[in-house]
Amino acid sequence: MRIRVSRPVALLLLLVFPALIVPALAAPRDDVKSGSARCDGIADDRAWLDCYYGAAQPMRARLGLPPAPNSQQALVPPPQPGSQGAPPSQGAPPPLGAPRPAAAFQLGNTDRSGQPGFFGRLFTHTNVKAEPPARMASYSFDKAGYFTVTLANGEVWKQNALDAVRATWRNPPGSYVATIEPGSKMDVNGHETYQVERIR
């Protein structure tokens, strides 16, 4: 039995069917763009990069890729209420998560302030190298067993609360050498690795 479809109905189906698919495809992209825009409030470059990777989680889930680490996803600030409303008034800074004005969102290597633009930041951070090793100046543990480390170069790093590994240091701080690696990881003495976030 053959079903005959009139020409007007066939044209209507051709117009309506793509319209139903496009929003489904656009939703993860919109979520990624919105999340990555909220990462712009993070001053530390390494934390910004981890946040940027965490913001891509909706698309990773759609494509069936392994999820971004929880430490990266946790860095993405949640959307602010009312951020999808009317654009902010002239002269006021846009609310966190709101689309950035075209003039401020430059696609070149630098924007008007001389800071890296979108592609400049993207390519600058694609080849992140480990920082030079530094001896610990001090370390302490909180009640849950997570550490806070001050390095000899003045940086202060705190262990991520999602890290399941616990440090058992007992020696003087100067006997430990820490290397901050890509992905906000701290390698200690070349054989212990912890998830960390910089606090100063």
Q: How far is CA 125 from CA 2, 29, 76, 105, 168, in A?
A: 58, 21, 18, 18, 33
Residue 74, both tokens: 């946790």
Question: Can you spell out the DSSP letters for 117-178?
Answer: -HHHHHHHSTT--PPPPEEEEEEEE-TTS-EEEEETTS-EEEE-TT--------S-GGG-EE
Domain span including residue 55: 7-76+106-124
Does residue 143 sit within a domain?
yes
Does residue 49 sit within a domain?
yes
Rounded Cα distance, 129 and 127, in Å:
6
Count structural domains, the chain: 2
Does residue 139 sit within a domain?
yes
**Domain co-membership, 29 together with 58:** yes
**Domain co-membership, 146 together with 68:** no
**Domain co-membership, 20 together with 64:** yes
How confident is the prediction along the chain (200 residues), in pLDDT tens digits per residue?
566 656 776 666 666 665 555 555 568 888 888 888 888 888 888 888 888 888 888 888 888 888 888 888 888 888 876 655 444 444 445 555 455 544 444 444 544 545 555 555 555 544 557 788 899 999 999 999 999 999 999 999 999 999 999 999 999 999 999 999 888 899 999 888 999 999 98
Q: Name the residue among 19, 57, 16, 15 with its Cα closest to residue 35.
A: 57
Does residue 65 sit within a domain?
yes
Rounded Cα distance, 113 and 159, in Å:
34
pTM value is 0.39
**Domain co-membership, 155 together with 119:** no
